[in-house]
Chains A and B, each alone.
Chain A
Amino acid sequence: MASDVGTDVAERTHVQLSNAVVRFAGDSGDGMQLAGDQFTNQTAIAGNDLATLPDFPAEIRAPAGTLAGVSSFQLHFSDQDIHTPGDAPDVLVAMNPAALQKHLGALKSGGTLIINTDAFSGRNLTKAGYDEDPREDGSLTDYQLHEVDLTTLTLRALEGHIERGELNKKEAERCKNMLALGLVSWMFSRPIEETESWLESKFAKKPEVADANVAALRAGWNFGETTEAFVFTYEVKAAKLPPGRYRNITGNQALSYGLVAASVRSKLPLFCGSYPITPASDILHELAQLKRFNVNTFQAEDEIAAIGSVIGAAFGGSLAVTASSGPGIALKAEAMGLAMITELPCLIVNVQRGGPSTGLPTKTEQSDLFQVMFGRNGEAPIPIVAASSPADCFHAAIEAARIALTYRTPVVLLSDGYLANSAEPWRLPEVDDLPDLSADFGFTTEPNTPDGDFLPYLRDPETLARPWALPGTAGLEHRIGGIEKEDGSGHISYDPANHHRMAELRYERMDKIAAGLPPLEVDDPSGEADVLVVGWGSTEGPIRAACHDLRARGRNVARVHVRHLMPLPQDLPDLLRSYETVILPENNMGQLVTLLRSATLVDIKPYNRVTGQPFSATELIDVIETLGWGESA
């Protein structure tokens, strides 16, 4: 929260900041995600660039007051272009001792700490693992501490509501997140009207609840304004983003919109067959709201049925998608092989979470790359596209659909828990500028041999795609299935040479996809870098931010982000070979690095961490300096 200029406003100091990181932390029942979302909206409307990091427990309601039950939401906003949700917060709001215990370590030295002092009772302290009250043992002296009785203030603000019987004391207490939000909004000079109207529409059916929340929000704002405890207010000016119309979007939302866009641009109905799983369920929820786009959603009885239905819908001529996460993808493996061998275009979304097994359902990780690359029996190559930011999920979904339709193949679209739930401002694309997917394929309606036969595996020489002939087309009746088939005719074949040829063809089709990819874009402003950082997926933000910072400090570092992981871009091996040092940070124990070393024989230096959290820019600055130049700043 590097301060810029201080201007006196009455007895307060108004500070201009270039950027700030605010973290709300509390019990999972305290409404921290909601407060964070609303602060994000205000921030977006203020025109800042921003990135968010929600972090919540897998349990729906972990025991109140415990460390396990802490839920948090971090927002990084700036007057510059930013790429990460920020490292150490400048402001921490801790609604109880457990939240303080869990998040204090992250707070910047000298940072602003707001604690709900009402929650610091003996029992809550014990549950959070405090032997002594941190307010009294001197452990908070490094920070600008504000002890605020948020619960009491909330109850006081809602006295009238309680007296009128509109809500009881417990319900009133629940509005304390809005009081905290009001206070932080005031600190950052944010108008709260948008949040008020949002509350009114959210609780349209319960106007008394809307009223109470608005009252608490205003009370928080007024508390900041009237109490003398807060001597600073802050302002982060609008960022200079490229001109256009913007909105905030999370990865899951962007991915869902990307699927709808792919459906509109391919003129195919969209079918989504999914089974609920964290953190992918939102895609099913989102699409279920969009039926007006000729979207049909099917909540299947299990993960296998979900992909089964997708294969059936693809056979029938829909743009079909199933969205899941690692454990669900494991169950789909056999069916993915069927989709591959029957060469039906469909999309399999893996919103990766911490693994193995049930793992860390609400945390992020990039450890399913090997799973989607290799997790099938036999030689079963399936293209893989990875999204790199929340908004990029939109474009990655369209790209995955393009490959599926053009080359007639299932395609895996990788996202992760971080992208899924994080938000960033997104400059809306012009619909007419989106790829016209309907030009990439056509349904076969006529026999494809001179003697009037139809051969379902007679390929297009350009793309090696087989014909997509839909049931209902007279004269093209044919049978497909999971047994090895004869090249061309598609009849069952156990012929050894044919089997080998079919395996070759399946890989040759990957080569065709690679040949159709645009050249890699290398980010190297100096043009003189010897060190190249390779990334994939959600690490783009922190890698970009780290490289930006290193360049500012005189380090020439180049960066390339790989969106297509199967097949790999054809220009990637030579690119890697042209740098002295190649570094690859990923949130797994070394998956892409293993593949790239094998594909290029370049001794790439890995950096790996799986803590369920995305990389921070600070962390990567250190890593890149150490691996790139043998020293750290």
Chain B
Amino acid sequence: MTTNDSKLTKKDFTSDREVRWCPGCGDYAILATVQTLLPELGARPESTAFISGIGCSSRFPYYMDTYGFHTIHGRAPAVATGLAITRPDLDVWVVTGDGDGLSIGGNHLIHALRRNVNLKILLFNNEIYGLTKGQYSPTSPLGSVKKSTPMGSIDRPMNPVSLALGAEATFVARSIDTDRKHLSSVLEAAYNHRGAAFVEIYQNCNVFNDGAFMAIKDKDQKDHNQIRLTAGEPITFGPDGENAVVARGDGSMKIVPTEEAGDRVVIHDPNKPEPTTAFALARLSHNPTGPTPIGIFRDVDRAAYDEVSRDQVEQARVDQGEGSLEQLLGSGNVWDVVS
């Protein structure tokens, strides 16, 4: 049992269950980062709940020694919403994947985001259906040759960050499974955000889609392709910062050599009330095969749905007084029958 005095460690967040992902799966790295980070952030196992859907990533709760709920395909945000509304004392995390969160559960995801329910939503994007053994997913690149698409997929992939921004999420970020430092910093910011925090994590499925994120993970390529977004800093990238992001006249973004950019280099500001610039940044890449922004795209304050919803209950109790069942039953037109 844990008490508030003891200093918690990774061990306190690690369950006794044997981890069953394929050896080499990117999920291991994410799990280790989360288990290490939570005690550092002061989270309590008993006050933490991980809610997941179905898919490889959704096994995550079993490995956390917190409260956990492995629900059904796509529905984790809905279950988490009910928990978050009724239990303000908990940290509620959602773990989902590209199939779970964007395909079968897309509706719940966008509504949780637009409502701004106080949830930390981690979307492990591996651009593939892993658990069902290798069909293309809503984030697989156009033309993906997979089991169900022998002649190549013909539907345009979804960009999770664009989608979240379109749903007017108040916190939208992207990180990478094996970049512990970057992932930790993004998750810490998500943890401290009141409202829905959406974090897309590029996660390698080494069995069915190995190397999908090579362009931004491989040590020879990543410096060329990672566009690291840092609040207050000009957006430049490349081994020597030789590339810069500038805005076109229509507001969209393009990459130019830094020396040509001059003072047109975009200064990153995730706190901008309008999501327009964040959206334009998200459009710089569809699948991370070239220069791709990572970091916090957007982080703004807006009332959280669950808080306002509880406030209404409180308000009703203040305005109308605590409900009396006798009064309720006897409301409206009543009459007495005497024997």
Identify the closest chain A residue to B89 (Cβ).
A472
Q: Which residues of B contact A105 (CB under 8 A)?
A: none
Question: Which chain A residues in 268-320 approach chain B with CB under 8 Å?
Answer: 269, 271, 273, 290-296, 298, 300-302, 304-318, 320
Identify the closest chain A residue to B314 (Cβ).
A291
Is B158 engaged at the interface, CB distance under 8 Å to the other chain? Answer: no
Q: Nearest chain A CB to B43's CB is how many angstroms away? A: 12
Is A248 engaged at the interface, CB distance under 8 Å to the other chain? Answer: yes
Map CB proximity to A onto B14-34 as digits: 1 under 8 Å, 0 otherwise.
010100000000000000000
Q: Contact: A475 with B108, CB < 8 Å?
A: no
Question: Which chain B residues in 325-339 approach chain A with CB under 8 Å?
Answer: 325-326, 328-339
Is A47 engaged at the interface, CB distance under 8 Å to the other chain? Answer: yes
- Please tell me which one of the listed residues A316, A479, A482 contacts residue B68 in the complex, with CB atoms under 8 A apart: A479
Q: Contact: B321 with A308, CB < 8 Å?
A: no
**Known A-B contacts A316-B90, A471-B47; A247 and B79 likewise in contact (beta carbons under 8 Å):** no
Is A244 engaged at the interface, CB distance under 8 Å to the other chain? Answer: yes
Question: Which chain A residues in 426-465 approach chain B with CB under 8 Å?
Answer: 427-429, 431
Q: Which residues of A contact B275 (CB under 8 A)?
A: none
Segment at the A interface, from B69-77, B192-200, B212-220, B278-286: B69-77
Q: Which residues of B contact A471 (CB under 8 A)?
A: 46-49, 67, 83, 87, 90
Is B129 engaged at the interface, CB distance under 8 Å to the other chain? Answer: no
Alpha-carbon gap, A294 to B316, bound state (A): 9
**Known A-B contacts A247-B334, A471-B46, A472-B87; A311 and B329 likewise in contact (beta carbons under 8 Å):** no
A-B interface contact total, Cβ < 8 Å: 220
Alpha-carbon gap, A41 to B17, bound state (A): 63
Q: Is the interface of B mostly helix, strand, loop or mixed?
A: mixed
The size bracket of the interface on A is 35 or more
Is B320 engaged at the interface, CB distance under 8 Å to the other chain? Answer: yes
Q: Which residues of A contact B316 (CB under 8 A)?
A: 291-292
**Known A-B contacts A313-B86, A480-B69, A482-B71; A305 and B107 likewise in contact (beta carbons under 8 Å):** yes
Q: Which residues of B contact A313 (CB under 8 A)?
A: 82-83, 85-86
Q: Is the interface of A mostly helix, strand, loop or mixed?
A: mixed
Q: Nearest chain A CB to B38's CB is how many angstroms away? A: 13
Segment at the A interface, from B58-66, B169-177, B240-248: B58-66
**Known A-B contacts A290-B328, A291-B316; A315 and B333 likewise in contact (beta carbons under 8 Å):** no
Q: Which residues of A contact B54 (CB under 8 A)?
A: 482
Identify the closest chain A residue to B322 (Cβ).
A292
Q: Which residues of B contact A477 (CB under 8 A)?
A: 45-46, 65-68
Identify the closest chain B residue to A273 (Cβ).
B82
Alpha-carbon gap, A271 to B326, bound state (A): 21
Q: Nearest chain A CB to B276's CB is how many angstroms away? A: 25
Map CB proximity to A onto B81-110 as digits: 1 under 8 Å, 0 otherwise.
111111101100000000000000001100
Alpha-carbon gap, A431 to B72, bound state (A): 39
- Please tell me which one of the listed residues A248, A314, A342, A472 contacts residue B90 in the complex, with CB atoms under 8 A apart: A472
Q: Which residues of A contact B45 (CB under 8 A)?
A: 474, 477
Q: Which residues of A contact B72 (CB under 8 A)?
A: 334-335, 337-338, 482
Alpha-carbon gap, A294 to B46, bound state (A): 25
Is B201 engaged at the interface, CB distance under 8 Å to the other chain? Answer: no
Q: Contact: A474 with B1, CB < 8 Å?
A: yes
Q: Which residues of A contact B48 (CB under 8 A)?
A: 471
Is B317 engaged at the interface, CB distance under 8 Å to the other chain? Answer: yes
Segment at the B interface, from A147-155, A207-215, A257-265, A568-576: A257-265
Q: Nearest chain A CB to B80's CB is how many angstroms away? A: 6
- Please tell me which one of the listed residues A306, A431, A481 contacts residue B71 in the complex, with CB atoms under 8 A apart: A481
Segment at the A interface, from B134-142, B263-271, B305-313: B305-313
Identify the closest chain A residue to B3 (Cβ).
A474
Q: Which residues of A contact B73 (CB under 8 A)?
A: 334
Q: Which residues of A contact B333 (CB under 8 A)?
A: 41, 44-45, 194, 247-248
Q: Contact: B329 with A317, CB < 8 Å?
A: no
Q: Contact: A304 with B78, CB < 8 Å?
A: yes
Alpha-carbon gap, A481 to B60, bound state (A): 12
Most buried by A among B3, B82, B85: B82
Is A168 engaged at the interface, CB distance under 8 Å to the other chain? Answer: no
Q: Contact: B336 with A296, CB < 8 Å?
A: no
Identify the closest chain B residue to A492 (Cβ).
B62
Is B164 engaged at the interface, CB distance under 8 Å to the other chain? Answer: no
Q: Contact: A428 with B325, CB < 8 Å?
A: no
Alpha-carbon gap, A342 to B66, bound state (A): 17
- Please tell me which one of the listed residues A44, A309, A431 contacts residue B329 in the complex, with CB atoms under 8 A apart: A431
Q: Nearest chain B CB to A459's CB is how many angstroms away? A: 20
Q: Which residues of B contact A337 (CB under 8 A)?
A: 72
Q: Contact: B80 with A312, CB < 8 Å?
A: yes
Is A170 engaged at the interface, CB distance under 8 Å to the other chain? Answer: no
Q: Contact: A246 with B85, CB < 8 Å?
A: no
Alpha-carbon gap, A248 to B333, bound state (A): 7
Q: Nearest chain A CB to B129's CB is how many angstroms away? A: 18
Is B323 engaged at the interface, CB distance under 8 Å to the other chain? Answer: yes
Q: Nearest chain A CB to B53's CB is how many angstroms away? A: 10
Question: Which chain A residues in 236-253 approach chain B with CB under 8 Å?
Answer: 238, 241-248
Is B182 engaged at the interface, CB distance under 8 Å to the other chain? Answer: no
Alpha-carbon gap, A477 to B319, bound state (A): 38
Q: Which residues of B contact A144 (CB under 8 A)?
A: none
Q: Which residues of B contact A306 (CB under 8 A)?
A: 78
Q: Which residues of A contact B132 (CB under 8 A)?
A: none
**Known A-B contacts A261-B325, A302-B107; A318 and B313 likewise in contact (beta carbons under 8 Å):** no
Alpha-carbon gap, A184 to B80, bound state (A): 54
Is A491 engaged at the interface, CB distance under 8 Å to the other chain? Answer: yes
Q: Contact: A480 with B46, CB < 8 Å?
A: no
Most buried by A among B81, B321, B328, B335: B335
**Known A-B contacts A477-B66, A483-B70; A316 and B82 likewise in contact (beta carbons under 8 Å):** yes
Is A169 engaged at the interface, CB distance under 8 Å to the other chain? Answer: no
**Known A-B contacts A315-B79, A475-B46; A481 and B70 likewise in contact (beta carbons under 8 Å):** yes
Identify the closest chain B residue to A429 (Cβ).
B329
Is A478 engaged at the interface, CB distance under 8 Å to the other chain? Answer: yes
Identify the closest chain A residue to B50 (Cβ).
A479
Question: Which chain B residues in 193-249 approach chain A with CB under 8 Å?
Answer: none
Q: Contact: A479 with B325, CB < 8 Å?
A: no
Identify the closest chain A residue to B81 (Cβ).
A309
Is A498 engaged at the interface, CB distance under 8 Å to the other chain? Answer: no
Q: Which residues of A contact B61 (CB under 8 A)?
A: 479, 481
Q: Contact: B86 with A271, CB < 8 Å?
A: yes
Is A222 engaged at the interface, CB distance under 8 Å to the other chain? Answer: no
Alpha-carbon gap, A114 to B69, bound state (A): 62
Identify the closest chain A residue to B76 (Cβ).
A308
Q: Which residues of B contact A247 (CB under 8 A)?
A: 329-335
Is A473 engaged at the interface, CB distance under 8 Å to the other chain? Answer: yes
Map CB proximity to B onto A57-90 as digits: 1 under 8 Å, 0 otherwise.
0000000000000000000000000000000000
Identify the closest chain B residue to A304 (Cβ).
B75
- Please tell me which one of the listed residues A44, A242, A300, A335 contacts residue B335 in the complex, with CB atoms under 8 A apart: A44
Alpha-carbon gap, A280 to B330, bound state (A): 23
Q: Which residues of B contact A310 (CB under 8 A)?
A: 82
List residues of A whose CB falls within 8 A of some B CB: 41, 44-45, 47, 194, 238, 241-248, 257, 260-261, 264, 269, 271, 273, 290-296, 298, 300-302, 304-318, 320, 334-335, 337-338, 342, 427-429, 431, 471-483, 491-492
Which 4 A-B pairs give the minimum distances between C-beta atoms? A308-B78, A312-B82, A481-B70, A309-B82
- 14 A-B contacts, Cβ less than 8 Å apart? A245-B334, A261-B325, A292-B317, A292-B320, A300-B78, A305-B81, A308-B79, A309-B85, A311-B82, A312-B69, A312-B83, A315-B69, A481-B70, A492-B62
